[in-house]
Amino acid sequence: MLQTTSVSATRLAVLIGEFDRSPAYAGLAHALRELIGDGRIGHGTRLPSERDLTVALGVSRTTVTRAYAALRDTGFAEARQGSGTFTRLPGGPVRALDRALWPTDVGDGVIDLVCAAATAPPGIAAAYAEAAADLPAHLGGHGYFPAGMPDLQAAIAATYDARGLPTTPEQIIVTPGALAATAVVGSALAGPRERVLVESPTYPNAVQALRAGGGRLLSIRLDPSGWDLEAVEDVLVRRGPRLVHVMPDFHNPTGLVMTAAERERYACALARHDAVAVVDEAHHLLLLDDGEALPPFATWSSESVSVGSASKSVWGGLRLGWIRAPHRLVDRLTRARVGLDLGAPVLEQLVLLRLLTGEHDAIVELQRRRLREQRNALAEALATSLPELTFRLPAGGMALWCHLPEPGATALAIEAERHGVLLAPGPSFAPDGGLDRYLRLPYAVAADDLRTAVDRIAAAWAVVRAGRGGPPRSGGTSDPVLVA
């Protein structure tokens, strides 16, 4: 992430907002660590003087002095003689980057627009600390919960009740993320001789997960304007897929939302042809504009299996997902799950339980607010610097699905890497290839970084259109691993 050189006391006070004042210096230090840790204050940023921050926050000088000292002691700041206090990150600015996901020689300042995942919103560190305090009560047991801790199953079931879909705790299976949940469904319900229908474009990792049981893949084109239900019905008649993967809420990567009428028609077609829908609901909470969220797809399709996740609405590092299944499939899915793993980590489950029974709605709203601002900033930057890229502004989700005036998304991704931006071109989302006129641009990073990224992409696109692009750099990659 690109860093600013300084942050004013007034701006920092706004970012900090309310903080725990018992004692005040500890609460202030905690708030600052969260701001630095999740990137809202960049690595290497000069913090305001103690005197200026004292005035901006209305606290004592001692409070700020002790808070800055606590930051230094924990590795989140350093004092530079004659220059002030600067933010840092324990282990350096790339401490959180998995090198398997990045080219080996990208260098500092690279903006990652491959991964559609945001930094943790405020409050996550506190939830982990509180969950850790709850952990000793569970250490006397074996720690294995193949279907999930009962209290968490009940809390997740309650979220479906609130959405108008009655659900019992027994219908919930907790997994280490939505992909693990999808793999369980693929393993349990689609054997080697059975067909699995997926959309194109779609989230590529879900495709791989659905193949866990050896199912044979079919794909159907998803038009940028919406679902072609006549084509879906035709495939159901002619090819008889056992599983059908659908993302009705803020589809990844297109951002499309299936209407209530479409959900009803789709569900009826599935029922007529004895096909089971695997419904990916990872993005359903990310409604960014005014309006009401639609009921779950399973409201119309009682035999469907829904897959949910905390990774998009809360944080990707909270590796928990779940399956919501009809009663008749729960035992089959649980048995398949045990063949893959024996349960999600207890601490993670305690964290999510605390969030669902406490601050979850507030945290999700903070996430929405950030994504809304970043979506609008990206759209404005594209309209100014890259008007030839067209897109439909999604009402939610985490990315724009951009159409290029000519094929070249793969070449653009290669050239953009040279300009310091990592991109996922359309073919990454095409199970059967193609879509080189499309580019997914997530708005999960800070608005300033998005504006910088668009300037760099525009420069790279000019090179590609002029025919001056070349092969990937030695040691680089044109296809970074796509994790979200």
Strands 305-309 and 276-280 come out as: parallel
43-47, 139-143, 350-354, 382-386 — which is least confidently predicted? 43-47
100-109, 191-200, 323-332 — which is least confidently predicted? 100-109
Give SS3 for 7: coil
pLDDT in tens, 103-130: 555 556 899 999 898 888 888 888 999 9
Q: Pick 474 or 29 by higher pLDDT.
A: 29
Mean pLDDT computed over 76-104:
69
pLDDT in tens, 173-185: 999 999 999 999 9
Q: Pick 36 or 202 by higher pLDDT.
A: 202
For residue 47, the model assigns a pLDDT of 95
Angle between helices 61-73 and 50-57 (to 10 degrees): 120
**Whether pLDDT at 475 is above 60:** no
pLDDT classification of 469: cutoffs 50, 70, 90: low
**Whether pLDDT at 101 is above 70:** no
166-170, 237-241, 356-360, 370-374 — which is least confidently predicted? 356-360
For residue 341, the model assigns a pLDDT of 87
CB 461 within 8 A of CB 386: yes
| Nearest-angstrom CA–CA distance, 250 and 240 | 26
**Peptide bond before 93: cis, by omega within 30 degrees of 0?**
no
19-28, 155-164, 465-474 — which is least confidently predicted? 465-474
- Looking at the DSSP bridge assignments, the partners of residue 280 are 307
pLDDT in tens, 397-441: 999 999 999 989 999 999 999 999 999 999 999 988 889 999 999
**Whether pLDDT at 478 is above 60:** no
Mean pLDDT computed over 206-232:
90
Q: Pick 98 or 222 by higher pLDDT.
A: 222
pLDDT in tens, 326-347: 999 999 999 999 988 889 999 9
Alpha helices (H) in 18-114, listed in sequence order: 24-37, 50-57, 61-73
The beta-strand segments (E) located in 40-147 are 77-80, 84-87, 111-113
For residue 434, the model assigns a pLDDT of 84
| Nearest-angstrom CA–CA distance, 458 and 460 | 5
